[in-house]
Structure 1
């Protein structure tokens, strides 16, 4: 401990000086035109009232790192070394200030002590700056001799920090408000310019369904002058066979404030009937009032014709693929029978049957997606005797074709094993299948058996096990693991494919 002297005595100044300095600070930040003015006024009051000739203000940046924004009497080397150092985390709730009489007697890292000592600093004050009770930064006081901060000095430092934190919060709010106003002032012009450049038709209606805006593509399609948008009745251009459905769907969407997707035929300015696909969403004011609809019309006349042709081709392809599977099944049966490998025949035929069942489901949806519940029911309950022993639970999510085929094969292998050796080989046994969609990675599937014979890990991995743990994991871009627990086999499958929905 240093011997008592003027530098070690509790610091204090006269109340009149404090009051005057705080008043000048409050007045200065109230009339400040920039944050630089606020920081300068804050450094003035800190050095005047807290008895230091060096001070700084630091704020957390977007990355959560404490950065110097204003300072007095600090070298560039010191600022570079100590930037980022903070006793608090961003957003920490109402921490108390920290006052250090002698940095050499603290538990700070040696490099920090050396950097502070090299700057000629002995005592420091760390005073948190808060906004709505959460730390956003700090101000620092630096002393070249040992100083002890009494309760009065600490209270004064906290008062200055509150004023400064409030001023920073007000400045940020004002900046955000100005930015919002500027964006609002430009939004309409930008919206009109942007929509007029768009290659698709964009429109906006009021709450009664009358046009408020048509972009250039829409005006050109219907031959509507911009000044006549308000009196244009788009419903008169709908094909007589489509008008009932289009108006009913749009009316229902407006009445229920819901999005709508529909298609219909419309007469263009040339008199040609064109198929337009319309996607519209409700617009709302800040107070929740319904303002009308905003939507896009896409001319899909050519695509619609191509889609019809594709449906015919797909139907023919489905028929041919089914025939191919039947031929493969017959050849396999004949080959295995000649080799007297009856178990192999049953296994091979079962797998082809599962592929065919999954194929049927995909074909019904044009090979775009497969509902998980439908696929599970098709694979696991084809045999009525198993239905009461298999419990299934999970959301109605959709699988991409590759995923559907992989999961169908996996479930078939698990069911086959359960029927031969596991829970489904005895009357009291049961299987629980659960699946859910995890936002962080995708689809989780858990197959769990219970009530069957005691399970023993196999001496070698069979084809089914390897297919699940290796081929299935690869197809799903995820992982699969089979756990041969004594009380019942458990298989956990995780799919991280982007097309799981």
Structure 2
């Protein structure tokens, strides 16, 4: 028995079947129930539509007063939640890298947002994107990983609604439901309306922000123009001045009222009028003129050097309607450049006038300049920017060993960043002739201490070498003649001593012969060197001691330490002093010549030298014997000549001469 039969039986009297009236009543009742249900659904639908319209109205009202994009996002989220009756919502927009980023959300965790950010169901350039809905995420075609992420957020249904701005996809908003949800067409229409309003609101705020930024840039530009020290001028394509900043007033002397409306040629000195036609022609072609240097005339008629930068000015349609011009006073720079050129010219003339080879290189060693003397010195014309390190053809060490150019003093100066002094080298010309020279390479640095190059002067020492050779020959000749004279004098003294009848005479002649021998020993040391102005103590002392040993064969003379440098003017006096002190020690201080000896040292300290003779005797008192000993008187006189002092001690017996060392 169905429901209708049971209902009819219930309404019929017991024992009677349902009558036609009863059946009609049942139909009417069912119709009324259906109408009531439809009325309830219609009332609910009307209430939803009313709620949707109210949400849209409030959203539109809030958009009118929104002053920032976060205000728009907040209003949009409120409207989405109210109009679509969803539990959660979010708004995402494309960033500069075309990735969807959250800009506003309600009820979403940080982990969820990080997991799904960047996802979009549409391509960035999709022309007509449509809403995408998932009524039940659990049975959707989404990937398992994405389903799991959404499920962990307890989202059961979701709608993706595209946001369009200027006819292009700009982002999306999303509505989230905690339970599966059936999306109906009116609901999708409301969602699209929300998306349109959201797009309008975002576009309006972006436009407003862009306008404010443009106004701020315009104000900054005006401030820059007004405060600039440079002259900033605008003109139309007929060359008529349209704007004139304070910098132009200061530079050219015209006020804005005097200049605006006048042709820009009021600034052109005679002979420069044709420049304006060329400038305007280039501007009309859309060209930009960079740092054009020319001359302009002030109001008072004076001329000044300026650098111009001229750019086209376009209207809103991109049509060129004029030009902007920036003029900078470069008078000081031109003066500095002129002075620099004059200074360089004077330097070039100076270097050319110096009778020595001079050249310069860059920091890498490439030749950048050379004077005529360098050409004459090297026997060739160097190639600028190609030749390296030196202007010479070939280089050698003073001993003839080949010297590579990249190991020459100039290369060392650049590599190590220091001036090189005291070096010598030999240059070979292409014709095979060789020139000894001394280089003076010196690095050049900029204001920051960086090496920018180097300068070198090559001093030809051929004449000096010839002079040194001639001097050596003269010294050898002098040494030979002096040696012969001393040998002759010594022979004469020896013969005279041998034939003398008086013992006193023989003694005097032997002493004189010994003194001549000591002087000869000093002379051999002095003139046996290339430099006759100085000689070493370690050469002098052994030579004189050996000569005295030969004159006193029975004596044991020990030549000890010898340090210091002696000048040639102390050689002879010092040799005579040493002869007297050694002779005195051997004669009076040593008793047993086989066992006892005489010790000699020559040391230096603190700019002074000390010649000491020590023996094993008792010694003597200087004051007691100075008046009776002619040899001691000779020593004291020679000591004064050397600006020295003689002092003696006993136990041990020692006689020392303290005198100044040679100044090098």
Structure 1 residue 205 displacement after superposition: 2.0
TM-score of the pair, normalised by structure 2 = 0.40
Distance 1:248 1:82, change over 3 A: closer
Residue in structure 2 matching 1:247, options 268, 276, 279: 276
User: What is the rounded CA distance, in whole Å, between the counterparts of 2:254 and 2:111 in structure 1?
Assistant: 68
Residue in structure 1 matching 2:189, options 159, 173, 182: 159
Structure 1 residue 194 displacement after superposition: 0.3
Structure 1 residue 276 displacement after superposition: 1.9
Between 161-170 and 181-190, the greater mean CA deviation after superposition: 181-190
Residue in structure 2 matching 1:130, options 147, 158, 164: 164
User: What is the rounded CA distance, in whole Å, between the counterparts of 1:212 and 1:205 in structure 2?
Assistant: 5
User: What is the rounded CA distance, in whole Å, between the counterparts of 1:19 and 1:148 in structure 2?
Assistant: 16
Paired residues for 1:274-423 under 5 Å: 274-288=304-318, 290-301=320-331, 303-304=333-334, 323-325=381-383
Structure 1 residue 286 displacement after superposition: 0.9
Q: Are the counterparts in 1 of residues 165 and 200 from structure 2 also a CA contact under 8 Å?
A: no
Higher relative contact order (CA 8 A, sep 6+): 1
Question: For this pair of structures, how many residues does the alignment match?
Answer: 316
Structure 1 residue 193 displacement after superposition: 1.8
Q: Are the counterparts in 2 of residues 98 and 125 from structure 1 also a CA contact under 8 Å?
A: yes
Distance 1:83 1:207, change over 3 A: same
Structure 1 residue 42 displacement after superposition: 4.8
Structure 1 residue 220 displacement after superposition: 1.1
Q: Are the counterparts in 1 of residues 72 and 202 from structure 2 also a CA contact under 8 Å?
A: no
Identify the residue that residue 303 of structure 2 maps to in structure 1.
273
| Per-residue deviation, residues 242-273 of structure 1 (Å, max 9, x unmatched) | 33332332454466665446443223467542
| Per-residue deviation, residues 145-192 of structure 1 (Å, max 9, x unmatched) | 33444xxx2x33542343233223322332344345435555554333
User: What is the rounded CA distance, in whole Å, between the counterparts of 1:222 and 1:156 in structure 2?
Assistant: 72
Structure 1 residue 295 displacement after superposition: 0.8
Residue in structure 1 matching 2:202, options 155, 162, 172: 172
| Per-residue deviation, residues 405-454 of structure 1 (Å, max 9, x unmatched) | xxxxxxxxxxxxxxxxxxxxxxxxxxxxxxxxxxxxxxxxxxxxxxxxxx
| Per-residue deviation, residues 15-67 of structure 1 (Å, max 9, x unmatched) | 53454344334433432222566556655564456553333333333443433
Identify the residue that residue 231 of structure 2 maps to in structure 1.
201
| Per-residue deviation, residues 102-153 of structure 1 (Å, max 9, x unmatched) | 434456565544443233222333333333554322232333333444xxx2
Structure 1 residue 219 displacement after superposition: 1.3
Are 2:100 and 1:66 aligned?
A: yes
SS in 2 for 1:124: strand
User: What is the rounded CA distance, in whole Å, between the counterparts of 1:156 and 1:73 in structure 2?
Assistant: 25
TM-score of the pair, normalised by structure 1 = 0.51
Identify the residue that residue 134 of structure 2 maps to in structure 1.
100
Identify the residue that residue 142 of structure 1 maps to in structure 2.
176
User: What is the rounded CA distance, in whole Å, between the counterparts of 1:238 and 1:132 in structure 2?
Assistant: 50
Structure 1 residue 320 displacement after superposition: 7.3
Distance 1:165 1:296, change over 3 A: same
Distance 1:59 1:253, change over 3 A: closer
Distance 1:24 1:37, change over 3 A: farther
Between 68-77 and 305-314, the greater mean CA deviation after superposition: 305-314
User: What is the rounded CA distance, in whole Å, between the counterparts of 1:142 and 1:223 in structure 2?
Assistant: 71
Gaps of 5+ in 1: 1-11, 329-333, 336-501
Identify the residue that residue 536 of structure 2 maps to in structure 1.
none
Structure 1 residue 202 displacement after superposition: 1.7
Q: Are the counterparts in 2 of residues 131 and 165 from structure 1 also a CA contact under 8 Å?
A: no
Rg: which structure is higher? 2
Identify the residue that residue 265 of structure 2 maps to in structure 1.
235
| Per-residue deviation, residues 331-359 of structure 1 (Å, max 9, x unmatched) | xxx99xxxxxxxxxxxxxxxxxxxxxxxx
